[in-house]
Amino acid sequence: MARKINLRIWRGDATDGGLQDVQVEANEGEVVLDVIHRVQATQIGDLAVRWNCKAGKCGSCSMEINGKPRLACMTQVASYGDDETITVTPLRAFPVIKDLVTDVSFNYKKAMEIPAFEPPKDLKPGAARMQQVDVERSQEFRKCIECFLCQDTCHVIRDHEENKKSFAGPRFFIRIAELDMHPLDMLKNRKRTAQEEHGLGMCNITKCCTEVCPEHIKITDNAIIPMKERVVDIKYDPARIFAGLLKREKRN
């Protein structure tokens, strides 16, 4: 059964923009992306929205719906009240390109800065043996669909453009954790560089990222907190500090 709903869409670009009200039909079972597409096909032909799979698997249609970072393809229209206006706006943490589309290139730059997977030098293809229980820890993080909702909601960068330079964000903390827990990865000091180069220390574990993750990855509990704890162990371990001093003495 079709009904009319009130949709308020942010329209504009980097220079100027504002909210525009439209009325649009919504059918049973439809998601917010469906009604945005209907507006596009029948009222605003050049309305910009990014999307791909429409099944919650690619992480393209990230936007803010009534102020909350969400995937438009996984948000039921029926989850809002009959008379409620649904307001859709672009991700706030990233620069707007046009309408609901933002420039998320920040994330791809950060991805380049995380040191890649490093397999054992002598490992032959097909020879790896790993237990399911050992791969599952990293598999949880590899479920990430790179929707960047966690990046968007993270208050370290949401309203603090200046922090972007030194902060990789939750998406890349789980990438580092994934590699750190990867049974075959040989690169050392991943936790330490997470702290020293990628801004792990700036996170004060408010768990906002975990809350918005459409894949229900426990970003804070399973990636960030364990890394923070280990970093503390490494940095403030008296034995290591002593060993470090000895080394320095030797060098001198």
Partner 1 sequence: MTTDKSTLERYKYDVLVIGAGGAGLRAAVEARELGLRVAIICKSLFGKAHTVMAEGGAAASMGNANSNDNWQVHFRDTMRGGKFLNHFRMAELHAKESPDRIWELEMWGALFDRTKEGKISQRNFGGHEYPRLAHVGDRTGLELIRTMQQKIVALQQADKREHGEYESHIKVFSELTITEILKENGKIAGAYGYWRESGSEVLFEAPAVIIATGGVGKTFKITSNSWEGTGDGHALALKAGANLVDMEFLQFHPTGMVWPPSVRGILVTESVRGEGGILTNTNGERFMFKYIPDVFKDKYADNEAEADRWYEDQDNNRRPPELLPRDEVARAINSEVKAGRGTEHGGVFLDVSKRLSAEIIKKRLPSMWHQFYELAGVDITKEPMEVGPTCHYVMGGVEVEPDTAAAVGVPGLYAAGEVAGGMHGSNRLGGNSLSDLLVFGRRAGMGAAAYVKQTTAAPVSEATVAAAAARIEAPFARSGGENSYSLHAELQEVTHNLVGIIRTGDELKDAIAKIADIRKRSANVAVSGGRKFNPGFHLAFDLDNMLLVAESTAKSAIGREESRGGHTRDDFPGMDSGWRQYNHISSFDGNQVSVRKQALPFMPKELFDLFEVEELKKYMTPDEVAKGGSN
User: Rule CB under 8 A: which residues touch partner 1?
Assistant: 13, 27-31, 34, 40-41, 45-60, 74, 76, 97-99, 101, 104, 108, 111-112, 114-117, 119, 123, 125-126, 128-132, 135, 138-139, 142-146, 179, 182, 184-185
CA distance 152 to 103: 12
Complex with partner 1: residue 73 or 200, whichever CB lies closer: 73
Strands (E), the chain: 3-12, 17-26, 62-65, 68-71, 86-89, 96-98, 101-102
- Rounded CA-CA distance 192/113 in Å is 15
Please give the Cα distance from 101 to 104 (Å, whole number): 9
Minimum Å gap between C-beta 106 and partner 1 is 12
Shortest distance, CB of residue 87 to partner 1, whole angstroms? 20
Backbone angles phi, psi at 223, to 5 degrees: -115, -55
Of the pair 49, 223, the CB lying nearest partner 1 is at 49
Distance CA 181, CA 137 (A): 7
The distance of closest approach from Cβ of residue 102 to partner 1 in the complex, given in angstroms and rounded to an integer, is 11
Q: How far is the CB of 15 from partner 1 (least distance, A)?
A: 11
Q: Smaller CB distance to partner 1: residue 58 or 65?
A: 58
Which residue, 59 or 199, has its beta carbon nearer to partner 1? 59
